[in-house]
Amino acid sequence: MTYPLDPEYPYTMPTVSVFRDPRPWDQGGMRYGRTTAFTVTFRTETDAASRLLPAPFRLDGDAQVSVSIVQCEDVDWLAGRAYNLIGVDVAAVFDGQVDQDVHGVFCVVMWENMTEPILGGRDHSGVPKVYADIPNLLRHGEACRGSASHFGYPILETAARDLAPLSAARRAELEQAKRDGNWMNLKYFPNATNTGPDVCYACTYPSSGSCPAAWEGAGEIRFFQSSFEKNPTQHVLINLLANLPVLEVCLARIVVWEPFMALDREPRILR
C-alpha cells in the first residue's frame, strides 16, 4: 500500500521519512544550547559589493560585508550534536513591489560542515548553504583565528587581536539587535527541466538569543583565489569574494549565545 502525501505538510525529501519539525516557531524556535560567533566586518567598493546582491536588493549605505564563523553546540534538533558554519552577509535593503525599504543584511552564502543543517536550511528556508571544512575557532588569550577550506584548498582566513569584553549594557544591545534585525536571503529552486525557477522569492530568517559574553577587537580577513581545478563548484563565488577590496576592517567581534533560538518566529516572505 502506498502512502498519501498531505498537501499541507512541508516534507523534506525523502518524503517517506521525517526530517525535523518543519514549523519550529510554534514551539519557540530551534534551540542551540550554545553558539560562539566570530564576526569580521569590512568596508569594500560599492560596485564589487553590488555584484553580490540580486534585484531588488540594494546596498544599505556603505558597502559593508560581514563574515561570521559560528560554532553551534548542543543542538536540540540534532540530539545534542555540534557543527560549524560560516556566513557571508552584505548590509542591504529590499525594495520589492509590495515590501519596500526593508533594511537588514543579505546572506550571500553559508558554508556548513554537516549535511543535515545544509538540507534543512536550503529546502525549508532558502538559505544558500554549501559544504566546506570548517575547524573549530582557535581562541588564545586576547586573540582568535578561524578558517575554511574545501577539497584541501583554503577558502578564507579570519583573525582578531586585542579582544576586550563588552559590558552588560552592550550585550543587551546585541540581544535587541539580533531579535529586531532582518536577516534576508533569496529562496531559489529551478524546475526539473532547468528552464526557470519553481520557486524564487526573498524571505527573512528570524532568530534571538541571550548573550552572556562578548568581546571586540581589531580584525583581519583574507579570501583565497580559487579555480575550477581547486574547487569546481564554488570557485566563481569564492573569486567574487576574493576580489572584494578590503578598504577598512570595521569590526571584529566574538559573541556567545546561550541559548540561541533559530526560527523563533515565522519567516516573512518579501514581495
58, part of any domain: yes
How do residues 82-116 score in pLDDT, each as one tens digit? Answer: 999 999 999 999 999 999 999 999 999 999 999 99
Residue 236 belongs to some domain of the structure: no
pLDDT of the residue at 230: 99
pLDDT per residue as tens digits for the range 5-58: 999 999 999 999 989 998 999 999 999 999 999 999 999 999 999 999 999 999
Find the Cα–Cα–Cα–Cα dihedral 32, 38, 43, 48, rounded to 10°: -60
What contacts 37, CB < 8 A, 6 or more positions away? Answer: 68, 69, 70, 253, 254, 255, 256, 257
Q: Which domain holds residue 69?
A: 29-146+158-223+242-270
Residue 263 belongs to a domain = yes
Cell numbers 519567516: residue: 267
Residue 110 lies in a domain: yes
Chain centroid offset of residue 83 CA: 13
Look at residue 191 and tell me if it is in a domain. yes
Q: According to the model, what pLDDT value does residue 106 have?
A: 99
Tell me what pLDDT residue 156 has.
99
Q: Indicate which CATH number applies to the domain containing 123.
A: 2.40.400.10
Kindly state whether residue 82 falls inside one of the protein's structural domains: yes
Task: Quote the mean pLDDT of the chain.
Answer: 98
What is the rounded average pLDDT of the residues 142-171?
99
113-130 confidence digits (pLDDT tens)? 999 999 999 999 999 999
**Residue 245: which pLDDT band, with cuts at 50, 70 and 90?**
very high
- Residue 1 domain-assigned? no
Domain membership of residue 63 (yes or no) is yes
The number of beta carbons lying within 10 Å of the beta carbon of residue 169 is 7
Total domains, the chain:
1
pTM metric for this prediction? 0.97
Mean pLDDT of 157-161: 99
